[in-house]
Amino acid sequence: MTETWIILGATSSMARAFARAVARNGAQVLLAGRDMADLQASASDCALQGAPVAEALHFDARDQATFAPIIERATALEGMINVAVFVGSMPTQEAIDADPSLIAGTVTDNYAGPAAFLQMIAPKMEERGGGTVAGVGSVAGDRGRIGNYVYGSSKAGFHTYLSGLRNRLTRSGGHVVTVKPGFVDTSMTWGIEGMFLVASPEKIAADILTAVEKRKNVIYTPGFWRLIMGIITAIPERLFKKLSI
């Protein structure tokens, strides 16, 4: 079956591993992001892996004028349209405490920008009667904690958005999988101390692909994070508010 994967935030190492995997499966790939040289290199790699179409396209979550050309290109291609969202940014909570104006960009990168893009493309997916959205959120979105609550709340907003979009797209044969990674070894987490059970970007990409194929609704990756977050979310608020986890 001919299909296209639009990959938002395609310079992420998780996104790169995911793009290679779907290219190997013969999908058309549109790699969207800000660093065009990096995206071109990935597009060449995807073509070598077997993608019949592999292109780099400019996407900036903070500039909605960049969205329409990507959607036009995807709709010009035959087959189902799928979208994988890897876009995100995570200023430190200390930086945000010092400069609250950083909140707006954080919310746009993790939630408002991707959500606006998905709102624009949803009618095209509905017209074609299917397609999958894989949205990368975070375990940080499951509970606000002292060290990361602005980033966490932006991911929580994205999770809730994806839940509603799943409800909508299901009606036309489409699907949405919400992906909640734990700690992953990427440029976002480079140099951060105190991380544990760190996963590789390839592991996350493989879990996302399996979840897409099995039409899972919400996954934790690696899977043991479901248990960890089950424990963390079960801690009573009167106790949790005194913890620094």
Ligand X SMILES: NC(=O)c1ccc[n+]([C@@H]2O[C@H](COP(=O)([O-])OP(=O)(O)OC[C@H]3O[C@@H](n4cnc5c(N)ncnc54)[C@H](OP(=O)(O)O)[C@@H]3O)[C@@H](O)[C@H]2O)c1
Angstrom distances, CA of residue 91 to CA of 106, 117, 184: 7, 22, 16
If the CB atoms of residues 14 and 133 are measured against ligand X, the closer one turns out to be 14
> Applying CB under 6 A, which part among 70-78, 81-89, 159-167, 212-220 lies near ligand X?
81-89
4 is a contact residue toward ligand X (CB under 6 A): no
CB of 213 to ligand X, least distance (A): 20
Among 28, 82, 132, 138, binds ligand X (CB under 6 A): 138
> Applying CB under 6 A, which part among 28-36, 47-55, 168-176, 232-240 lies near ligand X?
28-36
Q: Between 184 and 223, how does the x/- string for binding to ligand X read (CB under 6 A)?
A: x-xxxx----------------------------------
CB of 122 to ligand X, least distance (A): 19
Q: Terminal CA-to-CA distance of the chain, rounded, Å?
A: 46
If the CB atoms of residues 196 and 238 are measured against ligand X, the closer one turns out to be 196
> Applying CB under 6 A, which part among 45-53, 54-62, 142-150, 165-173 lies near ligand X?
54-62
Which residues 6+ apart lie within 8 Å of 163 measured at CB? 176, 178
Q: Are 138 and 153 in contact (CB under 8 A)?
A: no
- Quote the tokens at residue 97: 């405490």
Angstrom distances, CA of residue 11 to CA of 15, 81, 186, 190, 208: 7, 20, 11, 15, 17
CB of 165 to ligand X, least distance (A): 16
| Other CB atoms within 10 Å distance of the CB of residue 242 | 6
CB of 2 to ligand X, least distance (A): 26
- Positive/negative CA dihedral, 45, 47, 49, 51: positive
Which residues 6+ apart lie within 8 Å of 121 measured at CB? 6, 71, 74, 81, 83
Among 49, 88, 112, 175, binds ligand X (CB under 6 A): 88
7 is a contact residue toward ligand X (CB under 6 A): no
Cα–Cα distance, 99 to 186 (Å, whole number): 25
Q: Which residues bind ligand X (CB under 6 A)?
A: 9, 11-14, 33-35, 59-62, 86-90, 109, 136, 138, 181, 183-184, 186-189
